[in-house]
Amino acid sequence: MVTTELIPVESLSRRDRASLDRRYLPMAKVVPGFEWDAVAPYVIAIDRLKAERNAVIIAHNYQAPEIFHGVADLVGDSLAMAYMAAETEASVVVVAGVHFMAETAKLINPDKTVLIPDLEAGCSLAESITGADVRLLRERYPDTPVVTYVNTSAEVKAHSDITCTSSNAVEVVESLGVPRVIFLPDEYLGQYVAENTEVEIILWRGHCMVHERFTPDEIRRFRAAYDGDIQVLAHPECPPEVLAEADFVGSTSGMVKRVDVERPPRVLLVTECSMAANVSVNFPDVEFVRPCQMCPYMGTITLPKIYESLRDMKYEITVPPDMAAPARRAVERMLEVGRGKGG
């Protein structure tokens, strides 16, 4: 029997209330008190369910602060999430992120139960390509290896030689030791890789619906508004003309490292905007300017849905065995290449 009750804040034990206060204090600047009070019963219920189910919550940097700082056991970028999934001892992994992240966790952990709190948590990049598209590309460019961004379905991964993330894309491409690769599905990440390697890159025209919205003019306006006194860090899923305006290009974890090392007084994170809220909690001395582009898919994950996920053990990720084996090989091959310089 698992404990499923939601206890109103005023009826919580002193210990539970102290635990809520400890978590809330650092994020008070980014989560209004009334919002935290509304979700506090879920936070305590999730704590209990995690212990009873031997579960961990792995959260992406784009998750809402009350998830990221409130209940997640492990947080990071897509690559870090894959390593965390590979290393955890827990029997249940709840992925606070999008579907491809949960599928990757399942590929690496076939014997664990992997849950995603909302099946609608998709990704515009993952939707831009199918396994049949990859087969056609292979016919068109025989003997050319396929490097696939993790932001894809297991079916697409199964037709690929190796996966990559924005942290290690250049290293993965170069690890193959070939003059030419097919890189999919993110055209802009592919163009960024092409600029940083001698390997010829054949592109696919998938885009992230969040990062493609940024424009160079917008970045220039932010610089002008702060008299140039701002560091611009951009994600490589942005269009090349946006990256050309940036001081640094890297994965979400790469941006966090950059802030940690350089401690600029003011930064603009050209990426999904929940990330700036999450990171600002850990760097109170840095001002984060937030161009607000939200990912609607990441935003489908909420504390009540995480609670229901652990309560009802839903929604369980499964991958058909014939697809899982080649997709797993492609992911494991990436993990062997390592973390790269981009993150």
Q: Which residue ranges make up the site for ligand 13P (CB under 6 A)?
A: 61, 77-79, 151, 165-166, 208, 235, 237, 251-252
Shortest CB 59 distance to ligand 13P, Å: 11
Q: Does 124 bind ligand SF4 (CB under 6 A)?
A: yes
- Give the one entry of ligand SF4, ligand 13P, none that residue 297 binds, where binding means its C-beta sits below a cut-off of 5 to 8 angstroms depending on kind: ligand SF4
Of these, 55, 71, 147, 295, which contacts ligand SF4 (CB under 6 A)? Answer: 295
Distances (CA, A) of 334 to 92, 191, 282, 330, 338: 24, 20, 30, 7, 7
The binding track of 169-208 with respect to ligand SF4, each residue x by CB under 6 A or -, is ---------------------------------------x
Query: Contacting ligand SF4 (CB under 6 A), which of 175, 272, 307, 308?
Result: 272
For residue 203, what are the β-bridge partners? 183
- If one asks whether residue 297 binds ligand SF4 (CB under 6 A), the answer comes out as yes
Instruction: Report how far apart, in Å, the C-alpha atoms of 313 and of each of 50, 178, 321 are.
Output: 11, 44, 21
What sections of the chain are H helices per DSSP? 14-27, 33-53, 65-68, 78-87, 99-108, 131-140, 154-158, 169-175, 187-195, 216-225, 240-243, 252-262, 274-282, 303-312, 321-337
Q: Which is nearer to ligand 13P, 20 or 189 (CB)?
A: 189
- Minimal distance, residue 271 CB to ligand SF4, in Å: 8
Q: Which does 153 bind (CB under 5 to 8 A by kind): ligand SF4, ligand 13P, none?
A: none
Q: What is the DSSP string of 301-329?
A: --HHHHHHHHHHT-PBP---HHHHHHHHH
Partner from ligand 13P, ligand SF4, none contacting 251, C-beta within 5 to 8 A by type: ligand 13P
- 301 lies in the binding site for ligand SF4 (CB under 6 A): no
The CB-of-107 to ligand 13P minimum distance in angstroms stands at 16
From ligand SF4, ligand 13P, none, interface partner of 209 (C-beta below 5 to 8 A by class)? ligand SF4
73 in Cβ contact with 49 (< 8 Å): no
CB of 123 to ligand 13P, least distance (A): 6
Cis omega (within 30 of 0) for bond into 185: yes
Query: Which of 103, 97, 114, 27 shows the shortest CA–CA distance to 62?
Result: 97
Pick one of ligand SF4, ligand 13P, none as the site partner of residue 78 (Cβ within 5 to 8 A by kind): ligand 13P
The length of the chain is 343
Instruction: Name residue 230's amino acid.
Output: I
Residue 231's H or E segment, with its range, is: strand 231-234
- Kindly list the residues in this chain that would bind ligand SF4 in the complex (CB under 6 A): 98, 123-125, 151, 208-210, 237, 272, 295, 297-298
